[in-house]
């Protein structure tokens, strides 16, 4: 019993395909070519009818030509379909690639515009950094000049302090000699008064002569002490001026430190400029070190000023002690001049 929809034309196409392939068109081979469908009786009947229609060998040769023509037509159609499908796929792929290229080109244009704006901002920031670096260099040069000036002032103060110390030691030596002479004189007066009361007048005259000499020496010493006081006052004034200069340098150093701290956020926002402004950072660190050295020198100057003030106080105390000795000597002489 034949299957529903099996036609003789289909059997003919399957038989012609087998013949074109050089195979014998048996019932089983035709049924396999038809996809294992259809009744073998129907297929055999259709094959006999086709053989009858073809009329033996000549008919078979004609059927082979038709089968080949049909096969060529089907192959040409299949090739055309496959070519059209390939062309359509290639066109779709080309359109997709063109779309992606267009999107990539637009994205590249946008990135280029963004990059141009970023480069302009970076160049502006770089110019600002260069200006700040120039100002920092000028400030560093001024600070170097101020530091050299302070060092020269410190050297001058040290030299004057050494001179003052030498003069002070000289005054101490003179004062010691005067005291020793006075002690010796008092002892001699006491011995002479105990030994011979009658030589009191002569001893008194000698004492008065020595007193005049001591007074002259004290006058000279008083002038030297006055000059020393004036020199000390001048040194105190110079130290005050130096302290004010150092305070200004410290204030300037704090401003520079604030400026350097203000530059740190800019360095964080512009990481791509870190390699270009590394030199500025090294200059800033050198400036910080020089400011630290200036602060240390300011401390040294303050210490030296306190030492000068202490030396001046000691000189004044010694002067007051000398005045007391002179007063005692005068009292003693007045007592000696009184009649016994």
**For 148-182, how does the pLDDT look when each residue is reduced to its tens digit (9 = 90+)?**
887 888 888 888 888 888 888 888 888 788 788 87
Residue 340 pLDDT > 60, yes or no?
no
Residue 61 pLDDT > 70, yes or no?
no
**For 11-30, how does the pLDDT look when each residue is reduced to its tens digit (9 = 90+)?**
899 888 988 888 888 888 88
Amino acid 130: pLDDT: 86
DSSP single-letter state for residue 4: T
CA 205 to chain centre: 86
Confidence of residue 77 (pLDDT cuts 50, 70, 90): low
- The fold adopted by the segment(s) 132-337 is Glutathione S-transferase Yfyf (Class Pi); Chain A, domain 2 (1.20.1050)
Between the CA of residue 270 and those of 117, 130, 133, 260, what are the distances in Å? 14, 14, 16, 15
Record the tokens describing residue 10, joined without a space: 């289909």
Give me the residue spans of the domains in the chain: 132-337
| Contact by Cβ (8 Å): 14, 51 | no
Q: Evaluate if pTM is beyond 0.75.
A: no
In the chain, DSSP finds a helix count (H) and a strand count (E) of 6, 0
**For 222-237, how does the pLDDT look when each residue is reduced to its tens digit (9 = 90+)?**
787 687 777 767 766 7
């Amino acid at each position: 019993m034949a299957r529903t929809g099996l036609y003789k034309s289909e059997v003919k196409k399957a038989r012609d395909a087998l013949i074109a392939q050089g195979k014998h068109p048996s019932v089983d081979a035709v049924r396999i070519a038809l996809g294992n469908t259809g009744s073998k009786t129907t297929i055999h009947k259709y094959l006999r009818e086709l053989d009858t229609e073809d009329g033996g060998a000549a008919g078979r040769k004609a059927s082979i030509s038709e089968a080949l023509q049909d096969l060529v037509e089907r192959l040409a159609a299949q090739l055309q379909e496959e070519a059209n499908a390939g062309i359509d796929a290639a066109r779709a792929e080309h359109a997709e690639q063109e779309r992606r290229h267009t999107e990539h080109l637009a994205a590249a244009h946008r990135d280029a515009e963004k990059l141009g704006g970023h480069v302009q901002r970076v160049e502006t920031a770089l110019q600002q950094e260069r200006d700040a670096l120039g100002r920092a260099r000028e400030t560093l040069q001024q600070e170097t000049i101020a530091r050299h000036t302070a060092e020269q002032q410190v050297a001058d103060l040290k030299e004057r302090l050494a001179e003052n110390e030498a003069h002070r030691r000289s005054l101490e030596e003179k004062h010691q000699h005067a005291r020793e002479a006075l002690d010796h004189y008092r002892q001699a007066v006491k011995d002479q008064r105990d030994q011979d009361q009658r030589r009191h007048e002569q001893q008194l005259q000698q004492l008065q002569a020595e007193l005049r000499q001591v007074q002259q020496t004290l006058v000279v010493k008083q002038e030297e002490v006055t000059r020393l006081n004036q020199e000390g006052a001048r040194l105190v004034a110079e130290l005050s001026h130096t302290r004010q200069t150092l305070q200004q340098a410290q204030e300037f150093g704090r401003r520079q430190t604030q400026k350097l701290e203000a530059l740190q956020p800019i360095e964080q926002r512009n990481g791509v400029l870190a390699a270009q402004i590394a030199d500025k950072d090294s200059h800033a660190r050198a400036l910080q070190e020089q400011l630290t050295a200036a602060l240390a020198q300011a401390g040294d100057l303050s210490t030296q000023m306190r030492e000068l003030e202490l030396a001046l106080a000691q000189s004044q105390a010694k002067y007051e002690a000398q005045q007391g000795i002179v007063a005692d000597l005068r009292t003693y002489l007045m007592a000696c001049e009184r009649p016994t």
